[in-house]
Amino acid sequence: MARFILFIDQGTTSSRALLFDKDGAAVAKEQLALKQHYPQPGWAEHDPEEILNAVVQCCQTAMTLGGASAADIAAIGITNQRETTVAWDRNTGEPFHKAIVWLDTRTSETVGKLCKGQGGKDRFRAKTGLPISTYFSAVKMKWLIDN
């Protein structure tokens, strides 16, 4: 019978896994730092495979420390970097590029061009609920496609 909830926190500076029992008490945890890549001023990147491997390792270690098997996990909760963007090759399973981190500003020029249109930075807000910004993934994905 499932006895634990596994929580994954994949953040900007580290990946972490926490194992909780049915009463909500923390049973085990593991955390691994992520290498930060700053190839140019305003740019911030992560290695997608490092993120994946760190998450898997953290989960495995927390489960081992807590004496849990996969069958013991009732649920998994996940929180992540949200607007960090990565694209994977569906044929090879490899990332096309390093992940572009949420705080990266390499898309400022694209954002500026989009904001010059009707509606300015709120041009797409009625459809998306969001302003045009370097923070969001659409302009990052355009950069990945173009580069």
Q: Would you say 63 and 69 are in contact if contact means Cβ atoms under 8 Å apart?
A: yes
Rounded distance, CA 74 to CA 5, Å?
6
Rounded distance, CA 147 to CA 123, Å?
25
The whole-number pLDDT of residue 81 equals: 87
Q: What are phi and psi of 66, to 5 degrees?
A: -90, 0
Rounded to the nearest angstrom, the gap between the alpha carbon of residue 89 and the centroid of all alpha carbons in its chain is: 17
The whole-number pLDDT of residue 106 equals: 98
The whole-number pLDDT of residue 113 equals: 93
Rounded distance, CA 93 to CA 40, Å?
27
The whole-number pLDDT of residue 146 equals: 95
Which stretches in the chain have pLDDT values below 70? none
The whole-number pLDDT of residue 101 equals: 97
The whole-number pLDDT of residue 59 equals: 98
The whole-number pLDDT of residue 2 equals: 87
- By CB atoms closer than 10 A (0-12, 13-18, 19+), residue 93 is exposed
Helix (H, G, I), strand (E, B) or coil at 29: strand
